[in-house]
Amino acid sequence: MERISKSPLVIYQAHLDKGELAYQWSLDAQKAVFYPRVICPFTGSARLEWRVSAGLGTVYATTVVHPAREGAPYNVALIDCDEGFRLMSRVEDLAPEAIKIGMRVKFRVHRPSGDEPPCPVFVPAGSP
Amino acid sequence: MDGLQRGSVAIVGVAESDLGAVASEMSSIDLMAQGIHRALADCGLGLRDVDGLLCATAQSRTSGLALAEYLGISPAFIDTTILGGSSFMFHVSHAQAALQLGLCKVAVIAYGSTQRTIGRRHASVREYNPYETPFRPFLPSTAYALAASRHMHQFGTTREQLAAVAVAARDWALLNPVAWEKKPLTAAEVLSARMISYPFTVRDCCLVTDGGGAVIMTTPERARSLKKPPVYVLGCGQAITHANISSMPDLTVTGALRSGRAAYAMAGLGPTDIDVVELYDAFTINTILFLEDLGFCQKGEGGSLVADGRIAPKGDLPVNTNGGGLSYCHPGMYGLFLLIEATRQLRQECGARQVADCETAIAHGNGGVLSSQSTVILGTRATL
């Protein structure tokens, strides 16, 4: 049996390091898979191909979190990417309460300061 | 569920442990033991009769070991399935299977939590999810808020309708002497309370209390000779749809649709046959989602169903008669209390909040972030 040399998360984060939003494509299900895994949740097959998203999507659900102690309210959203997968993220460059379901958004990589790995955020699709 | 037979087991004893804010240094296992002691007294059985042990708590990794040691028993059947707040409804079906097969004769389901006393952070381990945690969702509130946003978008559900759920729960709680909340609540107060995760204010969210309890189950033959009228398990159903909210297939449709269908099929009953409805109201949207998915109204109509006091004490559909997780008690995994209240309603023990002519009850548990759904339908001897 072939051993796994890089975990799905390591590969995903390596794409983010390059500024790419990666997902998997199940060759047997002919469907997008997210979050990245070792086997496909639709078929059980291990035939998963890595692909890079075009980064365009639509806000599926949205909320504004109000921190109990300090810090400004911020957005948490679920984004449906055009390739057919959904992920948790946030929409930036807009006031959190202005973010609406159905809004078209595009991917941008967020690189936190310190040790945390980059993560995928979104901005309105019309943003420069 | 195939293999489980309608009415093949009965709930014979129920009890809460101390609730609210319990004495300092009480443990989750102390509360389980107190609940078991009281529930055994409720039915007239003793600890030595117990040969089936089922329990769940977020505060003990191997709670079955801890509880069996504490009680000084070595149960023939043991199950510590933990799937969030619905765990105890799963336990009911597992206990039913064990009793039917003769793996045990008297099964106890127990819960305990001291999350208020020790703080929510210490009561349950926060798991790091690399695909969600970086976005700082305030869980579980944010997950349910996302579901509410979707319901509002698709069906026009309003914050005022969500608030009506909290107000109805409070009105019921005022009739329950052991409820945490003691003062009336208005919709305006819900809407203007501190925002947690839009559209929820703190009044749309369940309480953070301590608490525990126990439910005793046995065979109908054994049940007949005990102190209280048996309450029979007529139907059980369960469904798991996801673990994390970003993997929930459709945020407006829960696994309650499937768990409810299975429970109704086993019971040979439908929603119009149910006299009292106990739903896991961790957040106001839950009550609306479960009323829809369990067939008390069409999908999308839950908001208008709850709007004019229909689920409040003077309404025509009694829902969450103990005051619910919103106003009575919510120690983190609330499902056991739904079974306790449904049983007490069917025994006509509920005093000021007693529902008249109560022969059938539904107790619906929810776990995780709308992740695990489990439905139990109970009935009096007349329904057998």
Q: Which residues of B touch A13 (CB under 8 A)?
A: 130
What's the pLDDT at B254? 98
A97 at B interface, C-beta within 8 A = yes
Cβ count within 10 A of residue B129: 16
The pLDDT confidence band at residue B350, using thresholds 50, 70 and 90, is very high
| A103: in domain | yes
Tokens of B137: 């969702």
CATH superfamily of B138-204+235-383: Thiolase/Chalcone synthase (3.40.47.10)
User: Which CATH number covers residue A101?
Assistant: 2.40.50.840
C-alpha span between B102 and B97 (Å, rounded): 9
Cα angle for residues B108, B113, B116 (degrees, 5° grid): 160
CA distance B71 to chain A (A): 40
**B146/A100 Cα distance (integer angstroms):** 12
Residue A59 lies in a domain: yes
The pTM score is 0.98
From B142, B149, B246, residue closest to A65, measured CB to CB:
B142
Asked if B246 lies within 8 A of A86 by C-beta distance, the reply is yes
Six token digits for residue B21: 């804010």
**Domain B10-121+209-230 in this protein, CATH class:** alpha beta
Assess A42–B contact: CB distance below 8 Å, yes or no: no
Q: Do B146 and A73 touch (CB under 8 A)?
A: no
Q: Is the pLDDT of residue A1 over 90?
A: no
In a domain, A2, yes or no: no
A20 lies in a domain?
yes
Could you give the CA distance from residue A81 to residue B375 in angstroms, rounded to a whole number? Answer: 34
Asked if A98 is an interface residue toward chain B (Cβ–Cβ < 8 A), one would say: no
Name which of B135, B150, B194 is nearest A89 (Cβ-Cβ).
B135
* Best residue of A65, A91, A92, A108 to probe chain B, by most B CBs closer than 10 Å: A65
Give the contacts of B61 (CB within 8 A, at least 6 positions apart).
none
CA atoms in the 13 A half-sphere facing the CB of B255: 23
- Residues A53-66, mean pLDDT to the nearest whole number: 98
Question: pLDDT-derived band of residue A127, with 50, 70 and 90 as boundaries?
Answer: confident
Terminal-to-terminal C-alpha distance of chain A: 48
- Give every CB contact of residue B335 below 8 A, 6+ residues apart in sequence: B85, B86, B87, B88, B89, B280, B363, B365, B366, B367, B374
Please indicate whether, in this complex, the C-beta atoms of A78 and B246 are within 8 angstroms of each other. Answer: yes
**Rounded distance between C-alpha atoms, residue B4 and residue B374, angstroms:** 15
Domains B10-121+209-230 and B138-204+235-383 share a fold: yes
Q: Residue B121: which pLDDT band, with cuts at 50, 70 and 90?
A: confident
Asked if B197 and A90 come within 8 Å (Cβ–Cβ), the reply is no
- The complex's ipTM works out to 0.97
Tell me whether A18 touches chain B (CB under 8 Å): no
The pLDDT tens digits for B252-300 are 999 999 999 999 999 999 999 999 999 999 999 999 999 999 999 999 9
B10-16 and B231-240 beta bridge pairing: antiparallel
Task: List the single residue in B with minimal CA-CA distance to A66.
Answer: B196
Instruction: Mark yes or no for CB contact B134/A101 under 8 Å.
Output: no
The count of CB pairs under 8 A between chains A and B is 76
- Taking alpha carbons only, the member of B246, B285, B279 closest to residue B371 is B246
User: Phi first, then psi: what are they for B311, rounded to 5°?
Assistant: -100, 0
Q: Provide the 8-state DSSP code for B228.
A: S
Q: Please tell me if residue A111 touches chain B, with a CB cutoff of 8 Å.
A: no
| Mean of pLDDT over chain B | 97
Question: Residue B245: closest CA among chain A residues belongs to which residue?
Answer: A88
pLDDT of residue B107: 98
> Is residue A99 within 8 Å of A62, Cβ to Cβ?
yes
Q: Can you give the residue range of the structural domain that contains A64?
A: 8-124
Least CB–CB distance from A65: residue in B136, B245, B246: B136
Q: Which residues of A touch B138 (CB under 8 A)?
A: 65, 67
Residue A61 lies in a domain: yes
Closest CA to B244 of B149, B141, B371, B372: B371
DSSP H helical ranges for A24-64: none
Question: Closest approach of chain B CAs to the CA of A57, in angstroms?
Answer: 15
Question: Could you identify the residue written with the tokens 């149910």?
Answer: B274
Confidence of residue B82 (pLDDT cuts 50, 70, 90): very high
The beta-strand segments (E) located in chain B are: 10-16, 52-56, 77-79, 106-113, 195-197, 200-201, 211-218, 231-240, 276-279, 360-367, 372-379
Are B89 and B236 in contact, with CB atoms under 8 Å apart? yes
Please determine, for residue B28, whether its predicted confidence score (pLDDT) is greater than 90: yes
Confidence of residue B126 (pLDDT cuts 50, 70, 90): confident
Dihedrals phi, psi of B342, to nearest 5 degrees: -60, -40
Report the pLDDT value the prediction gives residue A128, as an integer from 0 to 100: 78
Instruction: Using DSSP, state whether B152 is helix, strand or coil.
Output: helix
- Digit-coded pLDDT (tens) for A8-35: 999 999 999 999 999 999 999 999 999 9
Contacts of B150 in chain A (CB under 8 A): 60-61, 101
β-bridge pairing B52-56 and B106-113: parallel
Residues 6+ apart with CB under 8 A from B89: B236, B238, B335, B338, B339, B363, B364, B365, B374, B375, B376
Residues on chain B touching A86 (C-beta within 8 angstroms): 246-247
Q: Per residue in A70-113, pLDDT tens? A: 899 999 999 999 999 999 999 999 999 999 999 999 999 999 98
Residue numbers in B near A119 (CB within 8 A): 134-135
| Residue A89 near chain B (CB below 8 Å) | yes
Residue B22 has pLDDT above 80, yes or no: yes
> What's the token pair of residue B251?
């945020």
Domain spans in chain B, listed from the N-terminal domain onward: 10-121+209-230, 138-204+235-383
The nearest CA of chain B is from the CA of A40 a distance in Å of: 14
In a domain, A1, yes or no: no
Residues 6+ away with beta carbon under 8 Å from B353:
B172, B175, B176, B313, B321, B322
Q: How far apart are CA A58 and CA A120, in angstroms?
A: 14
A94 has a chain B CB within 8 A of its CB: no
With bands split at pLDDT 50, 70 and 90, how would you rate the model's confidence at B1?
Answer: low
Q: Could you give the number of structural domains in chain A?
A: 1
Please, is A109 exposed, middle or buried when counting C-beta atoms within 10 Å of its C-beta (0-12, 13-18, 19+)? middle
